[in-house]
Amino acid sequence: MTLKHIFLSAGLVASLQVFAGNEDRVGSAGASHLLVNPWARSGALGDASYANSNGLEATYMNIAGLAFTEKTQLKFNYSNWMGSAGIALNGAGVAQRISDSEVFSISVQSMNYGDIPITTVANPEGNIGFFSPRMNIFSVGYAKEFSSSIYGGINFKVISESISNMKANGIAIDAGIRYVSGEQDQLKFGITLKNVGPVMRYKGDGLAQQVTYVSTGYIASLEQRSATFELPSLLGIGGSYDFIFNESNKLNLALGFTANSFMKDQFRIGLDYGIAKESMAFNLRAGFCYENGMFNEETRSSAFSGPSAGFSIDALVGENKNALGIEYATRFAGVFGIIHTVGATISLK
């Protein structure tokens, strides 16, 4: 069995598990930061780019797109997650082509909630120190070009969540396929299965309690067992088409559908208009994500209110004409405010 058949079989089998979910299970999964896109370019498109995200952006959207990395790519993005909530979201990674058809990547996604005062029953006002909750995802990706039309990839993720006295660790796998067609490769289809893995459980001193046995007077620590929680697995399907007006102007239309196991299904659309002249390129992006009941805050299951937008500027710099890109995205999170994502991408030849 070839690697291509393994990807296809895994996607078909696991997709049955994803479609078993329904919106009645909203909020019952954990590790929800797996659903957070740290990258600006695909975020500006409303996460609709299952079929056309390339390079490190594809490690979140569809790992098959990693195969389109030319040689070496480095990327860093920062977001003020949930607007005024004071949460810092950082994403960074490196992708490296290792053969004519294979690309390897390493990326990290970190969510920092800042310093929170420690309070106890005896000290409800605090003044006894601070703790810093953190959520991290460490990813190792691999993508391969099977032919001029078919690309596939797989992404292994290690998940870590911690507060002052408890932590949880887990693993998950993403897999994706992309199909490219057309005289100028303008038509693309993509399918990805994300966040498939075993359940997670919190452990630590926060679940322990010191007790004294009345009969003997002995003091002992008893640790309670926490409940397990599942990962927010999903199936993403998308397509895109490039309207090529001339050598310098192009408009990409991206459509996406997300079948969530633990929240409502979502329909996505994104537009990316690009202008390229000599050694510079400018892209203007906009997107929208729709789910049932999203226009009513009481029935909305996502913090996002729908629209997103952004832009990027890329230029060839240095003697080797390496590409340096600056990118920005904004997403609207209702009562939380506006999420801004800024970052840079360096592509080495």
Residue 225 DSSP class: P
CATH of domain 3-348: 2.40.160.40
Mean pLDDT of the chain: 88
Q: Can you give the pLDDT at residue 23?
A: 64
Residue 64: per-residue pLDDT:
97
Question: Which residues sit opposite 145 in a β-bridge?
Answer: 151
Q: State how beta strands 208-212 and 72-81 pair.
A: unpaired
Q: What is the 3-state secondary structure (H, E, C) of 109-122?
A: EEEECCCEECCCCC
Q: Is the pLDDT of residue 20 over 70?
A: no
Mean pLDDT throughout 43-55?
Answer: 96
At 300, the pLDDT band (50, 70, 90 cuts) reads confident
Per-residue pLDDT of 126-181, as tens digits, reads 788 888 889 999 999 999 999 999 999 999 999 999 988 889 999 999 999 999 99
Q: How many helices (H) and strands (E) does the chain have?
A: 2, 18
H-assigned helices in the chain:
3-18, 40-44
Residue-wise pLDDT for 106-126, tens only, equals 999 999 988 888 888 888 887
207: which 2 tokens? 């679940």
Residue 217: C-alpha distances to residues 15, 152, 212, 223 (Å): 55, 63, 6, 19
**How far, CA to CA in Å, does 27 sit from each of 21, 199, 279, 294?**
12, 15, 47, 16
**Confidence bin at 17 (pLDDT 50/70/90):** very low
Q: Give the pTM.
A: 0.87
Non-local (6+) Cβ contacts of 114 within 8 A are: 86, 87, 88, 132
**pLDDT band for position 24 (cuts 50, 70, 90):** low
| Both tokens assigned to 67 | 């195969």
Beta bridge partners, 169, equal 160
